[in-house]
């Protein structure tokens, strides 16, 4: 038996296709899909169509964004930056932030919250 095999025996790989995950209802009223939700982390996939935006809000935990496709504008506190694919953005807990898409194509990004929030996000 290979080293470490017994540690993984009986585990099941979990695969989630972001495009097939159900859209969840949020105050933002955009395409939000929860991909992973366990005690220590939450991963959400967001698609903003041209002209769409997230409402400015505050999360009770640190948030990491990872831009997958397209171009979007992210604001964290008083900083604002246009970002494209393969860009990672860190947003500290309790700092107001938002996203919007002023381009003519959709933009898609991941939202990674660590740890999973015990309190609700507060829309401003």
> Is residue 97 within 8 Å of 63, Cβ to Cβ?
yes
Residue 9 belongs to a domain: no
Task: Tally the C-alpha atoms within 13 A of residue 9's C-alpha that lie toward its C-beta.
Answer: 7
> What's the maximum distance between 2 C-alpha atoms anywhere in the chain?
56
Reported confidence tier of residue 102, pLDDT bands at 50, 70, 90: very high
Q: Is the peptide bond before 114 cis (omega within 30 degrees of 0)?
A: no
Residue 7 belongs to a domain: no
Q: Average of pLDDT values for 78-94?
A: 97
Residue 76 belongs to a domain: yes
Residue 34 belongs to a domain: yes
**Cβ contacts of 88 within 8 Å, gap of 6 or more:** 64, 65, 66, 67
Q: What is the CATH number of the domain that holds 45?
A: 2.60.120.10
Indicate if the pLDDT at residue 8 is higher than 60.
no
Residue 11 belongs to a domain: no
Structural domain including 28 reads: 18-123
Reported confidence tier of residue 89, pLDDT bands at 50, 70, 90: very high
Reported confidence tier of residue 14, pLDDT bands at 50, 70, 90: confident
Residue 108 belongs to a domain: yes
Say how many domains are in the chain: 1
pLDDT (tens digit per residue) in 38-62: 989 999 999 999 999 999 999 999 9
**What CA–CA distance (Å, rounded) separates 6 from 18?**
31
**Lowest model confidence (mean pLDDT) among 37-41, 59-63, 85-89, 98-102:** 37-41
Residue 13 belongs to a domain: no
pTM of the model: 0.88
Indicate if the pLDDT at residue 112 is higher than 60.
yes
**What CA–CA distance (Å, rounded) separates 90 from 77?**
11
Residue 77 belongs to a domain: yes
């Amino acid at each position: 038996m290979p080293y470490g095999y017994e540690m993984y025996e009986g585990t099941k790989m979990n695969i989630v296709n972001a495009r097939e995950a159900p859209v969840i209802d949020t105050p933002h009223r955009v395409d939000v899909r929860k991909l992973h939700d366990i005690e220590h982390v939450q991963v959400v996939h967001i698609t903003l169509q041209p002209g769409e935006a997230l409402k400015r809000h505050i999360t009770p935990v640190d948030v990491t964004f990872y831009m997958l496709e397209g171009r979007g504008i992210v604001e964290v506190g008083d900083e604002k930056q246009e970002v494209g694919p393969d860009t990672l953005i860190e947003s500290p807990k309790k700092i107001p932030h938002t996203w919007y898409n002023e381009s003519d194509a959709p933009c898609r990004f991941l939202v990674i919250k660590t740890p999973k929030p015990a309190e609700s996000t507060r829309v401003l």
